[in-house]
C-alpha cells in the first residue's frame, strides 16, 4: 500500500466533490480544527499549526472552486438559451507549424 500526500489529497478532493458526502467532509474538517487531538498537536511550535493551515487551505480552495464551477454552470444555462444555433459565426482555420 503506497501512502502519499497526493493520494490523501485525491481522496479528500473526490470525497468532497461527491454530493452524498460533501457536508460530512466539511463538518469533519471543521471538527478537526476544534478538536485538541490532531495529527500534529497544536502545542508543537510550527508543525502543530502547519497541518491545520494545510487542511484549511485545501478546504477553502476546493469549496471555492466548486462554488465557481456552480456559478459558471448556472450562468451557462442562462446564456445558452440566447445563443443562435446557426453556424454563421464559425470560422475554419488551417493550422501550419512554423519551425
- From CA 26, how far away is CA 16, in angstroms rounded? 8
Instruction: Please give the chain's pLDDT, 99 residues, in tens.
Output: 567 878 888 888 888 888 888 888 888 888 888 887 777 777 778 888 888 888 888 888 888 888 898 899 999 876 554 555 555 677 777 878 887
Query: pTM for this structure?
Result: 0.59
Q: At what angle do helices 47-80 and 5-17 cross, to 10 degrees?
A: 40
Amino acid at each position: 500500500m503506497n501512502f502519499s500526500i497526493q493520494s490523501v489529497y485525491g481522496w479528500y478532493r473526490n470525497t468532497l466533490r461527491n454530493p452524498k458526502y460533501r457536508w460530512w467532509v466539511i463538518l469533519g474538517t471543521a471538527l478537526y480544527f476544534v478538536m485538541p487531538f490532531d495529527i500534529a498537536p497544536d502545542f508543537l511550535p510550527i508543525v502543530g499549526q502547519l497541518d491545520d493551515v494545510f487542511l484549511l487551505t485545501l478546504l477553502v480552495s476546493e469549496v471555492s472552486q466548486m462554488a465557481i464551477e456552480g456559478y459558471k454552470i448556472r450562468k451557462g444555462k442562462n446564456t445558452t438559451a440566447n445563443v443562435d444555433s446557426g453556424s454563421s459565426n464559425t470560422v475554419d482555420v488551417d493550422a501550419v507549424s512554423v519551425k
